[in-house]
Structure 1
Amino acid sequence: MSERISREELVRIYNVEITFFDSLEEAGLLTTETENEIKYLPYDDLSTFEKFINWHYDLEVNMAGLEVISHLLNKIEKLSSEKFTVIKLG
Structure 2
Amino acid sequence: MQPNHLIPISEFCVHHHVEIAFVNSLEQQGLVETICIEQAVYVQPEQLPRLEKLVRLHQELSIHPEDLDVVSDLLERLEGLQHQVTHLQNRLFFYERYTN
Q: Please give the TM-score of this superposition, normalised by the length of structure 1.
A: 0.76
Aligned partner of 2:72 in structure 1 is 70
Aligned partner of 2:95 in structure 1 is none
Q: Please give the TM-score of this superposition, normalised by the length of structure 2.
A: 0.69
Correspondent of 2:49 among 32, 47, 53: 47
**Take 2:14 and 2:64, find their aligned partners in 1: how far apart are those partners?**
21
1:62 is matched by which residue type in structure 2? H
1:68 is matched by which residue type in structure 2? V
What is the alpha-carbon root mean square deviation over aligned residues?
2.1
**Structure 1 unaligned spans of 5+:** 85-90
**Take 1:65 and 1:38, find their aligned partners in 2: how far apart are those partners?**
27
Aligned partner of 1:4 in structure 2 is 6
The number of equivalent residue pairs is 83
Q: CA deviation at 1:72?
A: 3.1
Q: CA deviation at 1:29?
A: 0.6
Correspondent of 1:25 among 19, 24, 27: 27
Which one has a larger percent helix, Structure 1 or Structure 2? 2
Q: CA deviation at 1:65?
A: 2.1
**Structure 2 unaligned spans of 5+:** 88-100
1:11 is matched by which residue type in structure 2? C
**Take 1:48 and 1:20, find their aligned partners in 2: how far apart are those partners?**
14
Task: Answer with 1 or 2: which has the greater Rg.
Answer: 2
